[in-house]
Amino acid sequence: MINEIGSDYWLTDKDYQNALLCEPIVSLPYSFKKVVLTSLCRTGIELFLDKIDKSNGVAFVPEFTCHSVVRPFANHGYDVHGYKLKSDLSIDVEYLGGLVSKYEPDVIIIHSYFGFNTIPKNIREVISDTVIIEDLTQRLFSSFPLTEADSYVGSIRKWMPIPDGGFYAGDTNIDEPVVEDSSFTKHELDAFLCKGKYMIGENIEKNVFREAFASARQMLKKGYHPYTMSKLSRQLYNSFDLKHWKSIRQKNARYLVEHLNEFDFLDLPLSNVDEQTVPFMIPVFVKERRKEFQSFLAKNDIYATIIWTCPEELQNELTDVGRYIYDHILCFHCDQRYNLEDMERIYNVIKLFNDNLYE
């Protein structure tokens, strides 16, 4: 078995064949009145924006977010503004309240970061007259209460080796797409299986599956179409032991937050892994030499990720906090592929870098 930590998921042929025997059932960990399964999270946002009225043409998104969140609003002609976060990745409610009074937005999207509860309880009081979408992607399996939003969206595929998968949930009368993105699904599946062969030691060059993933992801940039979640992804989802996976993530995350706190060149914005929290990844702020640190990790087969670059629409309005987050964040994988020995290896490699940094 190749001893790498991070980067894209993979599938073994055994996992794939087992999934083909399963029913294409997706049971989300929430009690929604209606769920529309989609190929991607942003499809859910697009479908919702198709239905709501646009009066002022203004939308708010967190200043720390990804291009896929911003693009649906831009595609629908909204003037997109970013709102300020605090250094612990929670929403600066006072700042947001001022923006709401100034711009009177039609819609605001909010999300909890990395599986932790970063949305203040009084958020509804501040934006009571604005349509709220809560993006559940990074808190998909955490059990702390949802915000009283008007609609919910999320990506499932970010959590596991499925080619596609997202959802929309809410009261708005939105029909589920009926057509699958079969070409993208096939390309993603091929990449998963190719990496799976590599990970178990078969004679596969790394560049082969990396190019396969890159080719699949490039297909997503060719334009928007409302596809449904594929039958294969539904089967794969139903074949996984999600309860066990959640427990693994919590154990791995607790080890990381406990041990990474000892390094002075790292700050942990989120560290309370309680029973309601199922971490997506563990983010740190690297105070200095982030590029060098990331490269050192990669040389030791640990692939920590800079999760997002700043979307073009938000660059001119970034606060100092937002700019610091983009410039210093690095995220460690703690998911179901790994165990505590892997987390200990992350710690030991960081310790080696730290000792060299301050020797």
Q: Is residue 291 in a domain?
A: yes
Q: Is residue 26 in a domain?
A: no
d(CA 90, CA 315): 20
Amino acid in position 193: L
Q: What is the pLDDT of residue 359?
A: 61
- Domain ranges, residue 350: 242-357
Q: What is the pLDDT of residue 2?
A: 82
For 194, phi then psi, to 5°, come to -65, -45
d(CA 193, CA 196): 5
Q: Which two tokens stand for residue 110?
A: 């909010």
Helix axes 290-299, 340-357, angle to 10 degrees: 130
Q: Is residue 85 in a domain?
A: no
72, 50 contact by CB (below 8 A): no
The enclosing domain of 325 has a CATH number of: 3.90.1150.10
Whose tokens are 């629409």? That residue is 313
Q: Is residue 327 in a domain?
A: yes
Q: What is the pLDDT of residue 171?
A: 76
**Per-residue pLDDT reduced to its tens digit, 187-197:** 999 999 999 99
Q: Is residue 55 in a domain?
A: no
230, 167 contact by CB (below 8 A): no
Q: What is the pLDDT of residue 126?
A: 84
330, 286 contact by CB (below 8 A): yes
User: How many domains are there within the chain?
Assistant: 1
d(CA 154, CA 36): 11
Query: Could you give the 3-state DSSP secondary structure of residue 15?
Result: helix
- Strands (E) across 17-88 are located at 35-38, 58-62, 79-83
Q: Is residue 52 in a domain?
A: no
Q: Is residue 94 in a domain?
A: no
Q: Is residue 185 in a domain?
A: no
How distant, in Å, are the alpha carbons of 26, 80, 125, 216 from that of 222? Answer: 28, 22, 39, 11
- Strands (E) across the chain are located at 5-6, 35-38, 58-62, 79-83, 107-111, 131-135, 151-155, 166-170, 266-267, 282-286, 302-303, 329-332
d(CA 313, CA 58): 13
- Rounded to a whole number of angstroms, the CA Rg of the chain reads 20
d(CA 143, CA 279): 11
d(CA 16, CA 10): 10
Helix axes 41-51, 67-75, angle to 10 degrees: 20
How distant, in Å, are the alpha carbons of 115, 145, 171, 244, 251 from that of 256? Answer: 15, 25, 39, 19, 9
**Per-residue pLDDT reduced to its tens digit, 145-188:** 999 999 999 999 999 999 999 999 987 789 999 999 999 999 99
Low-confidence ranges of the chain (pLDDT < 50): none
